Amino acid sequence: MRAILHSDINNCYAGIEEIFHPELKGVPFVVGGDESKRHGIVLAKNYPAKAYGIKTGEALFSARAKCPHLKVLPARMELYSEYCSAVRRIYLDYTDMVEPFGMDECWLDVTGSVMLFGSAVKIAHEIKERVKKEIGVTVSIGVSFNKVFAKLGSDYKKPDAVTVIDKDNFKEIVWPLDCGELLYVGRRTKEKLRDRGILTIGDLANTSPEKLKRFLGKNGEMLYIYANGYDTTPVQKFDYSREIKSVGASTTTPRDLYTLGDVRAVVFSLSEEVGERLREKGLEGNLIALSVRDKYLNWCEKQRYLDRYTNLSSEIAAGAMGLFTDRFDLSVPLRSIGVRIGNVKKESEGAVQLSLFCDETRREKRRRIELTTDKIKNRYGETSILRAVTMNPLCRNNRSITALGFHSAKEDMSKLSESFKQ
């Protein structure tokens, strides 16, 4: 029988901050996004903050309303990444089958390790104590015979705990849980299940897969397998590289977008990032997707196929702007935009089918220009060379320019000039 662990760093960002702010132990605090960039949400909270009903993902103003004396710390993502990497190095002492699930969670397959280190439960307790002693944070670990139940185990009891869910006790532990606790049951899926009287994981497990498939599609069959403990998904090796299916970028802008010029500036900035990442990985795609969120937080995405595969930022931007003018409008100001290229494959090598409806000579010149700008940016920084349209302060990659609306274009150019000198 397989021995699978799921380890979750408790309140990861907040737990790491407590190492550097021991004076905040017992004081309600959260790690929050940058409110000046309209990213003001709770990224993590400590247990005293949780006691006030503060939830990850809620707006900081809402969190402050629940706890007026709440402390808000800025996020330090590089620091958190270093600590998570240190924790993973401990996992790798026990197995090379370590599959990250986000920054602070990992699955470990220790089936082949029990002869060296003892039972899966012993390994889990040893890892838990080592992380606490060597790193200074705590983890909760689920021990089970599949990935889904191992994750349920790490969520079942927190903090600093080990929970075993095996074939003898999973019906007593797992089935009474709300169906929303099961992996990949989101809010909408939970609502669909609730409307049909399926409230717990046990209800889900005892509903026929045919019925679930009728109103949830393939996802229904998958959830039936998960609920009954039939999941056999393997834990991937730590160095496993997943096939890339799409490449995208999105941003929440410093202010709402009211004009087509604003949208064009942001779309070109995002397209530059997407194209650069595609070229770096030697990929190209022909499915363009554009997503927008308006000032009322309503979200929508539209997509269409391009005439040919591409990784040119100019063609990505043109496709995205064509989508916008055809399928969207600015009757309600926009808060955020995302650009994505899907149906990705390896860049064409050797002979390429040319088009009768495209100036191939001009396209080849554009390709060489974009490859050259990639080299310049890699050597001198992202702001060393810019498209004129992306010099709008709305563009997040334009790091030399601050928030829109607080200084003149002359000041923008002055700061940009200084960045070049540096």
Catalytic residue set: 105
Burial of 363 (0-12, 13-18, 19+ CB in 10 A): middle
CA distance 154 to 175: 16
Question: Phi and psi of 25, rounded to 5°?
Answer: -65, 125
67's tokens:
């706890």
Residues 6+ apart with CB under 8 A from 347: 282, 283, 284, 311
